[in-house]
């Protein structure tokens, strides 16, 4: 199975900050990567797919980049609603795998 | 509007069985691959299983292979997960999640989840 590793596990930031979360794959996955946001008590929400394509309705302050084995999720100016846990997921293999998550804290 | 609604969760003893259901609406059911994803308490998301239209292209994660069986019913537009030989570590919220369709294999719509607790 393809192992996905996110860093950091926890990130403390303030409203207005620019933050970056990294996701690394144990083997090349081209750009077959998605990012999800999860808040307590709610279902995960798709933010970005194919490494850099913003899902419809997702604010433009979110962006993704990368290919092969290294990927990033950037939030350009944190808003109060952005404090959540973020997950990357590879779908290069039919056996999907998620990163362990990055909790974004105030 | 695309909707997925899970049901069937509950408390079960180790070694027991449970069947989860996911009722769907708002899209052409047969055209989409649908997945089960779970989140154990204090843990991250874990992909469990996926199934394509016509009960084809079925895949399982290593932790559930041989114990869980995924299926779907086109007439009822529903997805199922039969869970046997349950273990304490299967305790989690189970989500059904639809893929984007037409080869777009990211998970674009999710249900709200159903809680499975495995405990003696």
Give the residue-averaged pLDDT of B7-31: 97
Q: Do B44 and A49 touch (CB under 8 A)?
A: no
Structure tokens given for A81: 């609603």
- Statement: residue B54 has pLDDT above 90: no
Q: How far is Cα of residue B22 from the mean position of the Cα atoms in its chain?
A: 7
Q: Is A101 on the interface with B (CB under 8 A)?
A: yes
In whole numbers, what is the pLDDT of chain B averaged over residues? Answer: 95
Give the residue-averaged pLDDT of B114-119: 98
Structure tokens given for B104: 């777009």
pLDDT tens per residue across span B75-115: 999 999 999 999 999 999 999 999 988 888 999 999 999 99
Q: Do B35 and A96 touch (CB under 8 A)?
A: yes
Please choose, from the candidates B115, B119, B95, the residue with its C-alpha nearest in 3D space to the C-alpha of residue B22.
B95
Class of residue A25 by CB neighbours under 10 A (exposed 0-12, middle 13-18, buried 19+): buried
The residue whose two tokens read 């649908």 is B34
Within 13 Å and on the Cβ side, how many CA atoms surround A40? 6
For residue B89, what pLDDT is reported? 97
- Smallest CA–CA distance from A56 into chain B, residue: B108
For residue B102, what pLDDT is reported? 80
Q: What is the full per-residue pLDDT of chain A (106 aa) written as tens digits?
A: 999 999 999 999 999 999 999 999 999 999 999 999 999 889 999 999 999 999 999 999 999 999 999 999 999 999 999 999 999 999 999 999 999 999 999 8
- Chain B residues with CB under 8 Å of A55 CB are 108
For residue B101, what pLDDT is reported? 81
CB contact burial B22-35 (16+ within 10 A = b; e otherwise): bebeebebeebbbb
Q: How many whole angstroms separate alpha carbon A44 and alpha carbon B22? A: 16
- Statement: residue B16 has pLDDT above 90: yes
- Chain B residues with CB under 8 Å of A43 CB are 95, 110-113
- Smallest CA–CA distance from B49 into chain A, residue: A95
Give the residue-averaged pLDDT of B34-61: 94
- Smallest CA–CA distance from A48 into chain B, residue: B106
Structure tokens given for A88: 């990357």
Contact at 8 Å (CB) between A33 and A89? yes
Structure tokens given for A7: 């860093």
- Chain A residues with CB under 8 Å of B107 CB are 34, 36, 44, 46, 89
């Amino acid at each position: 199975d393809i192992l996905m590793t996110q860093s950091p596990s926890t990130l403390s930031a303030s409203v207005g900050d620019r933050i970056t979360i990294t996701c690394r794959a144990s083997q090349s996955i081209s750009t077959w990567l998605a990012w999800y946001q999860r808040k307590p008590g709610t279902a995960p929400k798709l933010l970005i797919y194919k490494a850099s394509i913003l899902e419809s309705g997702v604010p433009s302050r979110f962006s993704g980049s990368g290919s092969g084995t290294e990927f990033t999720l950037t939030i350009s100016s944190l808003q109060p609603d952005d404090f959540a846990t973020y997950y990357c997921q590879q779908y290069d293999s039919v056996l999907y795998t998620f990163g362990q998550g990055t909790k974004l804290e105030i | 509007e695309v909707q997925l609604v899970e049901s069937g969760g509950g408390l079960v003893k180790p070694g027991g069985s449970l069947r989860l259901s996911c009722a769907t609406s708002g899209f052409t059911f047969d055209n989409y691959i649908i997945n089960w994803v779970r989140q154990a308490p204090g843990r991250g998301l874990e992909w469990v299983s996926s199934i394509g239209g016509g009960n084809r292209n079925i895949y399982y994660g290593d932790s559930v292979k041989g114990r869980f069986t995924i299926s779907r019913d086109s007439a009822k537009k529903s997805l199922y997960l039969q869970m046997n030989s349950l273990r304490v570590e299967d305790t989690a919220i189970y989500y059904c999640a639809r893929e984007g369709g037409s080869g777009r294999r990211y998970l674009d719509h999710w249900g709200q989840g159903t809680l499975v607790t495995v405990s003696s």
